[in-house]
Structure 1
């Protein structure tokens, strides 16, 4: 697959820029997404996935230091899905991860090629933790609660009225 170098897909200014070769046509297994599924991918296109059921709930914004470092941002915006509704379309062999040694559950999944954050599959809990920024389609849900605001970046001000929790919300 050839991907033009540029910041925004469809930007007419990137038409004359050189192209970047991504992946190998000879070895890439490509599965077609199911109609109506929600698709996502890494920045270079080497990894793609789909969610086959409509999303429920909200996009959760986590302000813990691990999520902030993993996303290099004020917070992570994640969607939680059942593993039965998640599948890799291609490039799952290009997904790598880093588990923080002292963390009970935190593991960061990313593309080996471009470093983009990717869904983390958690078979023990039967869930996928999907970075909302990796979604390519309209998810049909919006940002909701803020968690771990007790450890948020001191320079970041939360500017909405969504529920805020110092750690996990009550069960």
Structure 2
């Protein structure tokens, strides 16, 4: 590399390293789960992630009403969420988190739109459990930690995860199937 093209600032070096790491990761996952890369299968994974996050949120809601046994559903939800989310990221080629330098103009625009949607989802959904946490602490200070902190924390976790997962889910849902090469 010449001195003119070599990254000079810390941010430039970070971006270059991120691109290198992403390209390596892209090669690693390129051949993984080939049967799951079709539109119907990707959409099934999106639905599975949504169901897992919904169950997680409902778990928090049930715990807010004092149903201690409902906390078991948080673990079951995680057992569904983690593998389905991992598979979804693999089959959608982690495009929601790709460095801008690795995307063409259309992919970049789609990613930015999906990220904007994810932020909107996060902000919109997280308001409800946050208000629960604020009001339950103010109106019912004698309530136990399980009904307030655990229940509210689980609901916040579900909504933050939903917003964070939304860009990949949108991209995976809307992405067309790759044409087979002849």
Per residue, is there more strand in 1 or in 2? 1
Per residue, is there more helix in 1 or in 2? 2
TM-score normalised by L of structure 2: 0.19
